[in-house]
Structure 1
C-alpha cells in the first residue's frame, strides 16, 4: 500500500488526531531521500527522542514501518510522517533525485 492509500484509509477521527499531533510538533519536515528510507525524530514526554522510519520500494509502496514508541501498528508518529510526506510531496521529490 502507498502512503496516500494508508492516509485515505484512516477514519475521520484518526486523521483529525494525526493532523492535531502534526500541527503540535511544528516545525517538522520529512526530508527527501534518494534511498527511499525516510527517518524522523519526535519529542517524547520523558525527554527522550522517538525515532520513526518509513521505507518505500521503487514503486512508492510501503516496504517497512518502524517506530520506537512501542505503540505498534500505525502510530501517530508514523501517521504524522506520512501526512507531512503527502502534504509536501516528499516521495515525488525523492523520485526526482538522481541515483
Structure 2
C-alpha cells in the first residue's frame, strides 16, 4: 500500500497494486507510477487510469497476467508493483455486491 506522502497522483492510501491485488476481481487503475518511456508502453497496451482490469494469473518473480476485456497482458513484477488499483464500484460487477 502507499502512504499519503508518497502516493502517486490519482492513487489513494487505500489503493493496492496489481502485484498485491486478489485474483479474478475487477479492479480499476488509479495511477501508474513508472517512468515516461514505460508509461507510454502501458498506454499503447490500453492500461491507463480508469481502465478496468482483472488479475487472472500469478507467475514467478511476482509477474501477473491481467485481463482487459478479452485481451490478456503479461506484466513483470516490477511493473505490476507500480500500477495502483482499487476495487470497481459499479453495480454491474458481481464483486461490487459481494464486497458490501
Higher strand share: 2
Q: Which has the higher helix share?
A: 1
- The answer to whether TM tops 0.5 is no
